[in-house]
Chain A
Amino acid sequence: MLECIPTRKVEHTAGKINPAKTCQPIGAMYAALGIHGCLPHSHGSQGCCAYHRMGLTRHFRDQILASSSSFTEGASVFGGAANLKTSIKNVFKIYNPEIMAVHTTCLSETIGDDIPTIIKQSEVPEGKVVIHANTPSYQGSHITGFSNMCKAMVSYLAESDGTAKKERVNILPGFVNPGDMREIKRIVRELGIDLTMFPDTSDVVDSPLTDKYEMYPEGGATVAEIRDSGNSKLTLALGAWSSEAAGALLQEKCSVPCVPLKIPVGLKATDDLIMALKDGFGMKVPRSMTIERGQVVDTLIDTHFHYQGKKVAVAGDPDIVVPLTEFLLTMGMIPAYVMTGTPGSRFETEIRHMLEQSGIKDCVVRAEGDLFELHKWIMENPVDLLIGTTHCKYIARAEDVPLVRVGFPIFDRAVHYLMPIVGYRGCLRLIEMISNALLERRDRDCTDEDYELIL
């Protein structure tokens, strides 16, 4: 596989080969699906919308509905105002969502369509809402798009009625799977705290098969809930890249204090989430949580020799890779390459800081990298394990490295989006996946006399 990849050192400065990120609108579309009864709308050519629906559909194996302004050459020259107005009218008449969440594409951005003005001039039925986010694909990544749509939810919807804040926490979950969102909600409820999570794609993009078809499944934060988020006592913004901007805006707009945290992947990040809630609400952490946590520590002690000291390469979105790297360090593994496709020097600073604290040198850390680069590094200096998305599978095969699939997108395995990697239970799942990948490899590669019953 990949015999074409040069073995010598090469100059790679322009563009990306095997990118480790994609464009903003797909993130905005995903976030919008986390509002109940929402139809995301792509303001641009229909091709983008088709591609974004396809990408999300393949990852979640579920229906992903979104409409498009279907630009033609004329719209590209004269602007897409007419297309958006027609879209808004048709969407409410034919598909009747509660809310439409418009995002732009590189086409409408390059043209410079003024979306808020167009929305104001459109016929929006009584009681229905249209929000928008600018998502130029030539900035940031899909994570930026997710963040921008979360911000739009706050700027269009969140309100504070000026009365005393409610004993409730807002959770901005970041770009994670519905299974993760569900697990975060479970933890918060287990602590006895009332919450509003937005966006919340659980029961939307992993909706059940029943005998009744719902174009808009049960899940998602309702418009009313997002409105009322301005009256909550606290916001936890999980993930610097995907949630912090929305959290900060909510603080500014409605005076809800925002605590930025990592997405709770790994033991420490989960501890941080629980401590932040304890600090905010002063509740006693229930015994059940202590048990869950203790099971993770127990497992780490029991299984450390499966993975400790192994060299690992990690690639993915920054909000996942940062806490995941932290957890790999907790596990005693040695990150050799840590890479994200999303730009931003903060990534490199945070990872370097963690590595330093663990005394790890010789790790290559890179933001705005691509998988070709990662492949070249691994060719030069191999690793024992690769953790990343589906696109890493080519490297895994070419270099014969086991791959643990984590993150977005995963196109070649099922069920993953239902199974959390967050919280203490998520820790157990990560330990299991990583241990199993390494042990399978050991079983595969060893001689007959070394093939053992018990490991």
Chain B
Amino acid sequence: MAITEKGMEDLLATYPDTVKKNRKKHLLIKNSAEACQQIEANTRTIPGIISQRGCCFAGCKGVVVGPIKDMVHIVHGPVGCAYYSWGTRRNKARADDTTPKENIYSTLCFTTDMQEPDIVFGGEKKLSRMIDEVVEMFHPRAITISATCPVGLIGDDIGAVARAAQERHGIQVLAFNCEGYKGVSQSAGHHIANNNIMEHVIGKGTQRKPGDYVINILGEYNIGGDGWEIERILKDIGYTVNGIMTGDSSYVDIRNLHLADLNLVQCHRSINYIAEMMETKYGMPWLKVNFIGVDATCKTLRELARCFNDEALIGRTEEVIARELAIVEPVIEHYRKILNGKTAFGFVGGSRSHHYQHLLRDLGMEMIVAGYEFAHRDDYEGRQVIPTIKSDADSRNIPELHLKPDEELYQDAHVYLNLTKEKFEEIKKNVPLGHYEGMNPDMKDGEVIIDDINHYEFEELVRKLKPDLILTGVRDKYIAHKLGVPSRQLHSYDYTGPYAGFNGAMTFAREVANAVTTPAWKLVTAPWEDGKSKE
């Protein structure tokens, strides 16, 4: 089933005029005959619209900073923001060579729990005291402070508190001014987090992990153990993972990120700033990867091997792929029989709506409506549009870090990969080094691309297009069910996983097949009701 331009007009007709005018620009029906279909993204949510979006704080502390396991993350504000970002993103973490169990604080929640007097007279003293107590209690390697909405408004200077605490305790204390009202979504928070970590943490260490082909994985948050599955495959091939940002990641490892040979970028939206800034400052190249989907993982592994242009590595890559495919393919084949020809909707924050299209295609499914909660135009249309994106009042409020090449550490990209400049340029033509082409090119004609979808559009599109599966977040999961459509959460994987890599593809296939075939779907209509039970 597809939707026509006319159908889309009808859908929008319910809206008041201003809303209609606004929302029209956030919706596209893919048409490859049109040269560059432009979508509006990263602009304000309309007040009163039931959006999926969260805030800047959620993007900064919730997504990027929170998972760093060996730092104590103090949320400065009233209790709520800290409470809701406590253990809710499934960033799995465990002890490793550089981080003992005693230094892992992932299951704890620290909040200054501001009270009325703190709002009236300022909360800096309380914050300072909490830092002192936390240092005394836990001896963390470093501390972060994240600001929530009222903090900026009452003028608490968390930067000054952090600097003073750093002096007192001799450990790094980072202040993130990620008040919820900044920007238009979580995206602003990613940017603020990226800037701060780039400026104050990356580059401070001197330990490169021993081994060959030393890489970082950026924008991998280890939801359900995704990062571990990716690491398993990469290690088998012979790579050394120097650091992950920020799934199961540690402060000590992030300090050493600049000592790797190559950055891999999994979630483009939340981390592209660091990849780009490391390229500017250190010259380190980055490669857009996708470990979601069997074919996609194979493609990524092959492209990665080509970056190093090493026959042994390329050979080993093929060996591992062959070994894994022998296990995965029969399983995928089994589930494809159940799922072939089915359709899905996908609405997730950043890159996942793109990545999962590959995994669904492995299973014979097609994502006919895809959208992002907080993406920018480049996530849809590709990075080539970045210079043409107009900045507005909301984006100008997020400071840009202007970095220069580091005098000591800068090397040309080809040097990192041990290639001649010519060879590097040649490889770059065929693999996505320093480039991301966005989601839109991967979509088929007639499919719908939608930015910042809201409840009304969600409901209407489900009624019109009747998908077999909805991949979304927890807030929409149960709405999907009530609308008669099975769903899987793509933020938390409904507490299974991993979904990445080869093992992840098998898990995903099984879970999706279960969601679609669970017997209760045949029992929705009571036997005494008229009409047919929906199957």
Contact = CB atoms under 8 A, between A and B. Distances in A.
Interface of A: 1-4, 6, 10-19, 21-23, 25-26, 41, 44-48, 50-55, 57-58, 61-76, 83-84, 86-91, 93-95, 105-107, 109-111, 136-139, 141, 207, 209-211, 213-215, 372, 391, 394
Contacts of A105: 149
B110 interface: yes
B401 interface: no
Contacts of B525: 210-211
A106 B150 CA distance: 6
A14 B129 contact: yes
Nearest to B140: A4
A447 to B, nearest CB: 30
A51 B119 CA distance: 22
B420 to A, nearest CB: 48
Contacts of B85: 51
Contact of B109 (A18, A54, A62): A18
A90 B133 contact: no
5 nearest CB pairs, A to B: A47-B55, A23-B80, A87-B48, A90-B48, A51-B84
B102 A3 contact: yes
B130 A213 contact: no
Contact of A138 (B54, B114, B185): B114
Contacts of A62: 478
Interface stretch (B12-20, B258-266, B283-291, B296-304): B12-20
A359 B364 CA distance: 68
B455 interface: yes
A45 B48 contact: no
A45 B78 contact: no
A207 to B, nearest CB: 7
A69 B484 CA distance: 30
Contact of A16 (B105, B113, B153, B183): B113
A47 B127 CA distance: 23
B474 interface: yes
B112 A76 contact: no
Given A65-B50, A70-B47, A107-B153, A50 B137 contact: no
A10 B478 contact: no
Contact of A211 (B79, B137, B484): B484
B105 A90 contact: no
Given A21-B79, A93-B15, A138-B118, A47 B56 contact: yes
Contacts of B150: 106-107, 109-110, 138
Nearest to B112: A15
Contacts of A41: 48
Contact of B74 (A4, A15, A69, A71): A15
Nearest to A409: B83
B37 interface: no
Contacts of A69: 47-48
A27 to B, nearest CB: 11
Nearest to A47: B55
B100 to A, nearest CB: 8
B412 interface: no
A2 B107 CA distance: 8
A289 B436 CA distance: 68
A381 B109 CA distance: 23
17 contacts: A2-B108, A10-B133, A15-B110, A17-B110, A19-B82, A46-B54, A54-B88, A65-B50, A68-B47, A70-B49, A73-B394, A107-B181, A111-B153, A141-B79, A213-B482, A213-B484, A394-B107
B53 A51 contact: no
A146 to B, nearest CB: 14
Contacts of B105: 4
Given A45-B181, A73-B182, A211-B524, A4 B55 contact: no
Nearest to A60: B478
Contact of B58 (A22, A51, A94, A214): A51
Contacts of B100: 3
B115 A138 contact: yes
A17 B47 contact: no
Contacts of B524: 209-211
B74 A136 contact: no
* Residue picked from A52, A53, A90, most chain B C-beta under 10 Å: A90
Given A23-B80, A209-B482, A72 B459 contact: no
Contacts of B45: 46, 68, 70
A196 B14 CA distance: 35
B77 interface: yes
Contacts of A46: 45, 51, 53-55, 185
B134 to A, nearest CB: 8
Contact of A47 (B54, B393, B482): B54
Interface string B55-96: 111100000000000000010011111111111100000000
